[in-house]
């Protein structure tokens, strides 16, 4: 077996393991976030969580597969490490970008679902109001 094939195998093992680990973590911990996004509707949150994890696996494993091929033959252990570092690093960056995009979208959905009263900024300080301790004593 030449170094290129070994690099392919190691790349697939690392990326598949990372994808399963990240997917499992997102599925387990994302449920509470989705319940909040969907205002306590646990059935909807669970359904969306399952759809998201399937989409995550399809998208990520598809990217890993498309990104498998190297342009030049890998020569030696150093060449294998060089190739793996670029490929696995790129997969990790794409995974992170997809995750941040998901969090952004769901936080926007959550904000949109909240009432206007919950989004209002706090009142500006009033320099003419008495200090809190004076109000408490009734002066």
Percentage of the chain exceeding pLDDT 90: 34
pLDDT over 90 at 11, yes or no: yes
Rg (CA), the chain: 25
Phi–psi pair at 124, nearest 5 degrees = -65, 145
CA distances from 71 to 67, 68, 83 (A): 11, 10, 10
Judge whether 45 and 31 are in contact, CB under 8 Å. yes
On whether the pTM is more than 0.75, the answer is no
Judge whether 14 and 88 are in contact, CB under 8 Å. yes
Token pair listed for 120: 């209002």
Phi–psi pair at 49, nearest 5 degrees = -60, -40
What average pLDDT does the structure give for the chain?
83
Q: What is the per-residue pLDDT across 72-109, written as a single tens digit (0 to 9) for each?
A: 888 889 999 999 999 999 999 988 888 888 788 877 87
Using a CB cutoff of 8 Å and minimum separation of 24, what contacts does 61-66 make? 61/16, 61/19, 63/91, 63/94, 64/11, 64/12, 64/15, 64/16, 64/19, 64/91
Handedness of CA 8, 61, 16, 93 (dihedral sign): positive
Q: What is the per-residue pLDDT across 57-73, written as a single tens digit (0 to 9) for each?
A: 999 999 999 988 888 88
Neighbours of 57 (CB within 10 A): 15
pLDDT over 60 at 35, yes or no: yes
């Amino acid at each position: 077996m030449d170094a290129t094939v070994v690099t392919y195998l190691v790349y697939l093992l690392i990326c598949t393991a990372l994808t399963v680990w990240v997917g499992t973590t997102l599925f387990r911990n994302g449920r509470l976030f989705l319940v909040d996004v969907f205002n306590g509707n646990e059935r909807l949150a669970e359904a969306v969580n399952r759809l998201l994890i399937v989409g995550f696996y399809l998208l990520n494993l598809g990217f890993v597969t498309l990104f498998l091929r190297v342009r030049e033959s890998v020569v030696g252990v150093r060449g294998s490490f060089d190739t793996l570092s670029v490929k696995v690093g790129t997969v990790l960056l794409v995974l992170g970008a997809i995750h941040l995009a998901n969090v952004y979208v769901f936080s926007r959905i959550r904000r949109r679902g909240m009432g206007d009263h919950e989004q209002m900024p706090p009142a500006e300080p009033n320099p003419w109001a008495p200090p809190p301790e004076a109000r408490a004593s009734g002066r």
